[in-house]
């Protein structure tokens, strides 16, 4: 079984243009920083950046090549088909879905979601459908064939934009489980995702704090609990229910 992390990434963003290309630390973009974190997952076979054919995303392709990960270019609006084609191109059996606006995602949480998936007879695992972890720790896991099957239930533009919406909205068809945060990580209203300028400021402070050290979600929360003024940086921004890149 070929296991691939597929990262949806594009430059266009109305809230924060070219956000994943912005500098995270030491001239390393947020996208590159995310890829470097994901490379520590030793149970995966591929990292695939699923971007668009828009010329503005040429820079995303350059970053993918620099990081020596695979990439696929497809539809900007139909993200569902983009991810499906990316999985087909690289013969992926199991998709671990991460969006590019989650640069400080905890790889330990990804592994926990993976173990939950393989130890149960289910079609879909998520830790974000029922929000318990901080926003920005989001991961979804499903077999490629399940995503292919979901296409016939993807009736609306939103279903094609938010690629697992058709799965989540049909629990009688697709067996699913949600990974719920333990008490020490339960902070569903905390934003650790890259949506707005305020998020970028906070994420840079977090990344600069830990620099090259290995760190996880609890390390971030401990740091923020000791520096509560940092929580005020982005606590006024309004989050959309689903992320799209």
What's the CATH number where 150 sits?
Answer: 3.90.550.10
Please choose, from the candidates 172, 171, 161, 176, the residue with its C-alpha nearest in 3D space to the C-alpha of residue 245.
161
What pLDDT, on a 0 to 100 scale, did the predictor assign at position 41?
Answer: 97
For 84, counting Cβ atoms within 10 Å of its Cβ (0-12 exposed, 13-18 middle, 19+ buried), the class is: buried
| pLDDT higher than threshold 50 for residue 210 | yes
Spatial separation of the C-alpha atoms in residues 168 and 173, rounded to whole Å: 10
DSSP code of 203? Answer: H
Examine residue 207 and state whether it is found in any structural domain, yes or no. yes
Cα distances (Å, whole numbers) of residue 217 to 54, 93, 98, 110, 146: 34, 28, 16, 11, 29
Structural domain contains residue 242: no
For residue 139 the two structure tokens come to 């991961």
Whether the Cβ atoms of residue 124 and residue 174 lie closer than 8 Å to each other: yes
Provide the token pair at 176. Answer: 């699913």
pLDDT at residue 229 greater than cutoff 80: yes
Residue 40 within a domain: yes
DSSP letter at 151? G
Residue 243: per-residue pLDDT: 44
Residues 6+ apart with CB under 8 A from 153: 159, 166, 167, 169, 170, 173
> Do the Cβ atoms of 96 and 87 come closer than 8 Å?
no
Identify whether 238 is part of a domain: no
pTM, two decimals, is 0.94
Question: Is residue 96 situated within a structural domain?
Answer: yes
- Asked whether residue 68 is assigned to any structural domain, the reply reads yes
Q: Please tell me the predicted confidence (pLDDT) of residue 234.
A: 92
DSSP assigned state of 181: P
Q: Dig out the tokens for 194 from the structure.
A: 């890259």
* Calpha distance 75→80 (Å, rounded): 9
Task: Report strand pairing: 140-143 vs 176-178.
Answer: unpaired
SS3 content of the chain, % helix, strand, coil (to 5): 40, 15, 45
Q: Tell me the C-alpha distance between 40 and 31, whole Å.
A: 15
Q: Is residue 131 part of a domain?
A: yes
In this structure, what DSSP letter does residue 239 have? P
Q: For 146-176, how does the pLDDT look when each residue is reduced to its tens digit (9 = 90+)?
A: 999 999 999 898 988 899 999 999 999 999 9
Residues of the chain above pLDDT 70, percent: 98
- Residue 144 is part of which domain span? 3-232
Q: How confident is the model at residue 237 (pLDDT cuts 50, 70, 90)?
A: confident
- The verdict on residue 239 lying in a domain is no
Mean per-residue pLDDT of the chain: 94
For residues 129-142, give the mean pLDDT: 95
pLDDT of residue 238: 80
> Domain total for the chain?
1
70-126 per-position pLDDT tens digit: 999 999 989 999 999 999 999 999 999 999 999 999 999 999 999 999 999 999 999
What pLDDT does 242 receive?
Answer: 47
Does 245 have pLDDT greater than 60? no
**What pLDDT shows up at residue 127?**
96
pLDDT above 50 (res 244): no
Q: 20, 91 in Cβ contact below 8 A?
A: no
């Amino acid at each position: 079984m070929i296991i691939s992390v597929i990262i949806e990434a594009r430059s266009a963003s109305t809230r924060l243009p070219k956000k994943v290309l912005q500098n995270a630390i030491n001239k390393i973009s947020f996208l590159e920083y995310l890829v470097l974190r994901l490379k520590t997952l030793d149970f995966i076979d591929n990292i695939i950046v699923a971007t668009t054919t828009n010329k503005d995303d040429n820079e995303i392709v350059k970053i993918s090549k620099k990081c020596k990960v695979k990439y696929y270019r497809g539809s900007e609006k139909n993200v569902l088909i983009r991810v499906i084609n990316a999985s087909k191109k690289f013969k992926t059996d199991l998709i671990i879905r991460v969006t590019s606006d989650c640069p400080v995602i905890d790889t330990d949480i990804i592994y926990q979601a993976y173990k939950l998936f393989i130890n149960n007879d289910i079609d879909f695992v998520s830790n974000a459908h029922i929000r318990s972890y901080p926003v920005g720790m989001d991961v979804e896991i499903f077999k490629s064939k399940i995503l292919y099957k979901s296409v016939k239930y993807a009736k609306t533009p939103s279903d094609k934009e938010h690629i697992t919406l058709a799965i989540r909205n049909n629990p009688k068809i697709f067996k699913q489980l949600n990974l719920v945060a333990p008490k020490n990580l339960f902070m569903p209203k905390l934003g650790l995702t890259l949506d707005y300028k305020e998020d970028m400021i906070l994420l840079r402070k977090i990344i600069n704090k830990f620099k090259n050290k290995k760190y996880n979600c609890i390390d971030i929360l401990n740091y923020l609990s000791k520096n509560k003024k940092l929580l005020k940086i982005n606590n006024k921004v309004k989050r959309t229910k689903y992320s799209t890149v």
